[in-house]
Amino acid sequence: MSTMRAPNIWVWLVAIAVALAAVSACFGPQTSNDYFDRGVARLKDGKYKGAIADFDEVINIRPKYTDAYTNRADAKSRLGQYEEAIADLDQAIRLQPDDAGAYVSRGFAKNLLGQYQEAIADFDQAIRLRPDNASAYDNRGAAKTGLGQHKEAIADFDQALHLRPGDAYTFISRGHAKLELDQNREALADFDRAIQLQPDDAYVYISRGYAYLRLDQNREALADFDRAIQLQPDDAYIYRSRGHVKLELDQHREAIADFDRAIQLQPDDASSYNIRGLAKLELEQHREAIADFDRVIRLQPDDAYSYNNRGSARTGLGQYEEAIADYDQAIRLQADNAHFYINRGDAKAELGQYEEAIADYDQAIRLQPDYTNSYIFRSLARAELGQHQDAIADLEAALELARDAGDNDLMVFIEGKIEELQQDE
C-alpha cells in the first residue's frame, strides 16, 4: 500500500520568494526602502543624478525620512549643488535636531560656498552634540583657515588628529596652515607624515614642494613636483604649479615649457595663458606675451590684471597709446589698484604727458601711501616740469620709506637722485 507525503513547505516558500524577486526585478523598486537602497547604491557608484531621483521618490512616499534628505544632500554636494544640499540638510536638522552628522555636512557645504562663519556655527553645534567627532574639528579648522585664523585652525587640526591620528588629509590641512604662519619646517614635517600615509597622492608632493621652496631647498622642491607629475602625468594643475616654482627660480624657459604642457591638457584655462605671458614678459618676448594676454581676455573679459599685463607688454614695445588704453580698462574694472595707476602714469610720462602722469601717481599714493616707487616716479615727472623742490620732497619721502624697510641699495639710489636735483637747482 502506497503512502502519501505532505508537500515540502520550504520548497514552496523558496519558489514564492524567487517569484517575488523576479517581479521586483521586472517592475523596479516598489517601496520607499527599495528606492532608498538603490539610491545609496547609486551614490556609492558615483551615479549622483540617479541617486537624487531615487531619494526624491523616497521623500515623496515618506516625507519625514531624515536619511533620505542627508543622502540626497550628499549627492547634490558631489554635483556642486551646494545651496540645494544645504536646503536638504536644513530639513534633516528640523526633523532630527540632534544629528551631529547633518551639521557637519551642512557646514561642509557652507565651507565650499565660502560661508565660513556660518559653517563654524554648524561645526560648533556638531561638537557640542558629539565631542569626539573628528570630522567636525577637521572641517572647522578648514573654515578658520578660510578666515585667516591659522593658529585657531591648527588647534582644531590638532584635535582632529588626536581623535583620528591616521588621517593624511588633516596633516596636509595643518601643514598649509603652518605655511601661512611661516612655520615652514613644522609644515614640512606634516607633509612628510602625509606622504607616509598616502605615498601615491600627487597633491601631497605639491604641498611639500612648496614647503621646500620656502626653505630654499630648491632641488628637493623640484623633485617633489617631478614626482607629482609621475603620479599624475595628465594633470594640468601640476604642470602649472611646477612652472610657478621654476619662475621663482628664474628658470623662465623651463617654466614656459610646463605652461605649454598645461595648455595642451587644458586649452581653455585662462590662468595658464596668463602666467605664461608673464614668463614671456620676463624674457622680453613682448609680442608673444601679448598673444597670451589676448587669449586670457577672450576667456575672461572682466579680468583687470590681464589688461594691465597686456599694457605692460605694449609698453615694452613702445606702444604707449595702446598701453594706456589697456590701463584705462584695468582701472575701470578695478579702480582701487594703485599699481594700475602707476603703470598708466609711466606710459603717460613716456609720451611727455607729465601732468597727467603726476595725477596718476597722486592717485596711487592715495591708495597705497607706503609704496616707495610712486614717490620716485612722481619726483621724476615733477623734475621734468622743473618742479625741483616738489621732486626733492618726493624723493625724501621715498628715502624715509626705504630706510624703514631697511633697503640700503634703494636708499643709495634715492640719495644719488636727490644730489642730482640739488645740483640742477
- The owner of cell 543622502 is 71
Long-range contacts of 149-154 (CB under 8 A, 24+ apart): 150/177, 150/178, 150/180, 150/181, 151/181, 153/177, 154/178, 154/181
CA 421 to chain centre: 47
Say what the pLDDT of residue 286 is: 98
Q: How many helices (H) and strands (E) in the chain?
A: 24, 0
Residue 210 burial (10 A CB sphere; 0-12, 13-18, 19+): buried
pLDDT band at 19 (very low <50, low <70, confident <90, very high): very low
Q: What is the pTM of this model?
A: 0.73
Tell me which residue of 154, 109, 113, 156 sits closest to 135, measured CA to CA.
156
* 59-108 pLDDT, tens digit each: 999 999 999 999 999 999 999 999 999 999 999 999 999 999 999 999 99
The contacts of residue 201 (CB under 8 Å, 6+ apart) are 168, 194, 195, 231
Q: Would the pLDDT of 16 be above 80?
A: no
pLDDT band at 248 (very low <50, low <70, confident <90, very high): confident
Say what the pLDDT of residue 425 is: 66
Say what the pLDDT of residue 2 is: 37
Backbone angles phi, psi at 353, to 5 degrees: -90, 70
Tell me which residue of 334, 224, 316 sits closest to 277, measured CA to CA.
316
CA angle, residues 118, 121, 127, in degrees to nearest 5: 145
High-pLDDT (> 70) share of the chain, %: 93
Q: What would the grid cell of residue 57 be?
A: 521618490
Compute the chain's Rg from CA coordinates.
31
Q: Would the pLDDT of 6 be above 80?
A: no
Tell me which residue of 397, 326, 404 sits closest to 417, measured CA to CA.
397
Say what the pLDDT of residue 110 is: 97
184 in Cβ contact with 220 (< 8 Å): no
Tell me which residue of 263, 266, 247 sits closest to 255, measured CA to CA.
247
Say what the pLDDT of residue 422 is: 86
Q: Is 145 helix (H, G, I), strand (E, B) or coil?
A: helix
Q: Give the residue-averaged pLDDT of 226-245.
A: 94
Say what the pLDDT of residue 103 is: 97
Query: Is the domain 357-425 a CATH 1.10.10.10 member?
Result: no
Tell me which residue of 220, 142, 217 sits closest to 174, measured CA to CA.
142
* 28-61 pLDDT, tens digit each: 567 989 999 999 999 999 999 999 999 999 999 9
**Residue 153 or 25, more confident:** 153
Question: Identity (one letter) of the amino acid at 66?
Answer: T
Q: What would the grid cell of residue 299 be?
A: 576667456
Q: Give the residue-averaged pLDDT of 240-264.
A: 94
Question: Identity (one letter) of the amino acid at 143?
Answer: A
What is the domain partition of the chain in residue ranges?
357-425
Q: Give the residue-averaged pLDDT of 266-290.
A: 96
Question: Identity (one letter) of the amino acid at 271?
Answer: S
Q: Would the pLDDT of 356 be above 50?
A: yes
**Residue 137 or 245, more confident:** 137
Within 13 Å of residue 264, how many CA atoms lie on the same side as its CB?
A: 10
Q: Would the pLDDT of 3 be above 50?
A: no
164 DSSP 8-state letter: S
Instruction: Please give the Cα distance from 224 to 210 (Å, whole number).
Output: 9
Query: Cα dist. 287→78, 283, 314, 317, 373 in Å?
Result: 42, 11, 8, 8, 27
133 in Cβ contact with 104 (< 8 Å): yes
* 304-331 pLDDT, tens digit each: 999 999 999 999 999 999 999 999 999 9
Q: Give the residue-averaged pLDDT of 194-210.
A: 95
pLDDT band at 280 (very low <50, low <70, confident <90, very high): very high
CA angle, residues 406, 371, 327, in degrees to nearest 5: 145
pLDDT band at 424 (very low <50, low <70, confident <90, very high): confident
67 in Cβ contact with 36 (< 8 Å): yes
Render 341-404 in DSSP notation, one character per residue.
HHHHHHHHHHTT-HHHHHHHHHHHHHH-TT-HHHHHHHHHHHHHTT-HHHHHHHHHHHHHHHHH
Q: What would the grid cell of residue 348 be?
A: 603717460
The contacts of residue 400 (CB under 8 Å, 6+ apart) are none
Say what the pLDDT of residue 29 is: 66
* 133-166 pLDDT, tens digit each: 999 999 999 999 999 999 999 999 999 999 999 9
Query: Cα dist. 137→133, 173, 267 in Å?
Result: 7, 12, 38
Q: What is the residue-averaged pLDDT of the chain?
A: 92
pLDDT band at 171 (very low <50, low <70, confident <90, very high): very high
